[in-house]
Amino acid sequence: MKIKVMDKVLAANDAWAEENRKFLAQRSITMLNLIGSPGSGKTSLLEKTIDLLGKKLRIGVIEGDIATSRDAERIGKKGIPVFQINTGNACHLDAHLVNAALKELCKSSRLNLIFVENIGNLVCPAEFDIGEHAKIAILSVTEGDDKVEKYPLLFSEAKALIITKLSLLSHTNFKLEKAEKDFRKVNREAPILRIDNISGEGFSGWIAFLNNM
Ligand code: MG
């Protein structure tokens, strides 16, 4: 019985995801779904990305959080359109919520790139299609190098893996080679980008990836 209910939820979600894909295609907008743990550096990655690309592309951001608008306030300071979704207790954004946010965000702005910062979590956000062009997995070196093995769905679906907080590597026992080898077991294609949000190390690869989307 539980499985049937879940099927219905996912079917309804997929219909909204299709709506979102149409909405984005009509406006030639690329939408990327950033997924990673709380504190993995998703918002910092966005801040730095906007600094580097905000003049070249018309960027908008949808922020997903259980509570608060702290991330939207941080992004808003960059002077770009941002919409905060608070899910209350839901552990992921679904396509219906994103549809409402997309309509709001595009009401007064013509955008060509939208980032969705999903709820900080490696599990549920990977299960819900929101109509994005690509899921981007964010993994910080402070989380431990076993996360790829423990949460394979996200890493198998990702179109890029971004390893953040590189400058802290020597203070952890995170083994880049192990994490990257585990990633290749579930994902043969997606590029692996090692970056540091503070120093900007590795951002040229990320910006090149975005320019090729
Ligand atoms: Mg954040």
Q: Mean per-residue pLDDT for 73-81? A: 96
Q: What is the CATH number of the domain that holds 87?
A: 3.40.50.300
Per DSSP, the residues of 62-91 read EEEESS-SHHHHHHHTTTS-EEEEE-TT-S
Separation of CA 40 and ligand 1 centre (Å): 8
Q: Which residue range forms the structural domain that includes residue 116?
A: 2-211
Separation of CA 138 and ligand 1 centre (Å): 11
The yes-or-no verdict on residue 69 having pLDDT over 90 is yes
Separation of CA 25 and ligand 1 centre (Å): 27
- Listed residue (103, 98, 140, 133) closest to 119, CA to CA: 98
The yes-or-no verdict on residue 200 having pLDDT over 70 is yes
Token pair 């013509």 is found at: 110
Dist. CA 211–CA 205, nearest whole Å: 10
Number of helical (H) and strand (E) elements in the chain, helices listed first: 9, 7
Separation of CA 137 and ligand 1 centre (Å): 14
- Side by side, the strands of the sheet bearing 113-117 are 82-86, 59-65, 113-117, 30-36, 134-140, 160-164, 192-194
Separation of CA 1 and ligand 1 centre (Å): 35
Separation of CA 71 and ligand 1 centre (Å): 5
Instruction: Count up the domains in the chain and report the number.
Output: 1
Separation of CA 120 and ligand 1 centre (Å): 7
Residue that wins the pLDDT comparison between 1 and 117: 117
DSSP 38: T
Separation of CA 61 and ligand 1 centre (Å): 12
At a CB cut-off of 8 Å and minimum separation 6, what does 66 contact? 86, 87, 88, 89, 90, 91, 119
Separation of CA 140 and ligand 1 centre (Å): 13
Percent of the chain clearing pLDDT 70 (strictly above):
99
Question: What was the pLDDT predicted at 89?
Answer: 87
Separation of CA 35 and ligand 1 centre (Å): 10
Q: Mean per-residue pLDDT for 113-117? A: 98
Separation of CA 196 and ligand 1 centre (Å): 16
Q: Mean per-residue pLDDT for 37-63? A: 96
Separation of CA 130 and ligand 1 centre (Å): 18
Q: Mean per-residue pLDDT for 69-91? A: 95
The yes-or-no verdict on residue 1 having pLDDT over 70 is no
Question: What was the pLDDT predicted at 8?
Answer: 80
Separation of CA 8 and ligand 1 centre (Å): 30
Q: Give this prediction's pTM.
A: 0.95
Separation of CA 42 and ligand 1 centre (Å): 5
Separation of CA 119 and ligand 1 centre (Å): 8
Question: What was the pLDDT predicted at 10?
Answer: 83
At a CB cut-off of 8 Å and minimum separation 6, what does 211 contact? none
Separation of CA 133 and ligand 1 centre (Å): 20
List the Cα angle 89/131/143 in 5-degree steps: 55
Q: Predicted confidence band at 38 (pLDDT cuts at 50, 70, 90)?
A: very high
What is the per-residue pLDDT across 6-26, written as a single tens digit (0 to 9) for each?
788 788 999 999 999 999 999
Dist. CA 110–CA 154, nearest whole Å: 30
